[in-house]
Amino acid sequence: MASNNHIRRAVFPGSFDPITLGHVDIIERALPLFDEIIIAIGVNAAKNYMWDLEVRIAKIEAAFKGQSKIKVTSYQGLTADFCKKEKAQFILRGLRNTTDFNYEQTIAQANEKVNGVDSVFLICSPEYSHISSSIVRDIARNDGDFSSLVP
């Protein structure tokens, strides 16, 4: 069996408040690239979430039931530190548009230079580029039906 160091492991970090079809698209398309993908919910004490951490984890687990390459967990602190702890060489992120790109660029450059963790970006499928967790939360807050946006 390959030693742990040879496992291609990616962390897919996010708030997942809640997980959307956009996230699922990125994760499913990234599966052939990695041996393991850790979906990691970043916990920021200063942030108010709509869904509790346990609920967000349960929704993600339900979306990937039976998929042995996927782990779901939470973490605090810097994503790059979490990657080191988990022996993950890569951070996986999805890009919807240039706003996402501009936000991600400097973070990815810093993570590579400072921590040696490389980022891998997938451009989202066009049918999902309008989907965001914040849109889902807006709809939920107004008692709307957001079922077509989430798994």
Residue whose C-beta lies closest to ligand ADP: 22
Shorter beta-carbon distance to ligand ADP: residue 80 or 124: 124
Q: Supply the DSSP string of 113-133, one letter for each residue.
A: HHH--EEEEEEPPGGGTT--H
Nearer to ligand ADP, 74 or 132 (CB): 132
Return d(Cα 119, Cα 15) in angstroms, integer. 17
How many whole angstroms separate alpha carbon 145 and alpha carbon 25?
A: 21
| Closest CB 121 distance from ligand ADP, rounded Å | 8
How buried is 15 (Cβ within 10 angstroms: 0-12 exposed, 13-18 middle, 19+ buried)? middle
CB of 15 or CB of 115, closer to ligand ADP? 15
Which CB atom, from 71 or from 96, has the smaller least distance to ligand ADP? 96
Q: Could you tell me the smallest distance in angstroms from the CB atom of residue 75 to ligand ADP? A: 12
Is residue 29 within 8 A of residue 122, CB to CB? The reply is yes
Bond before 151 cis per omega within 30 degrees? no
Contact 49, 17 (CB under 8 A): yes
Least Å from the CB of residue 6 to ligand ADP: 26
Q: What is the binding site for ligand ADP (CB under 6 A)?
A: 14-16, 20, 22-23, 26, 93-94, 96, 100, 124, 128, 131-133
Could you tell me if 16 and 60 are in contact, meaning their C-beta atoms sit under 8 angstroms apart? yes
Residues marked as catalytic = 23, 47, 96, 133
- Distance in Å, CB of 47 to ligand ADP, minimum: 9
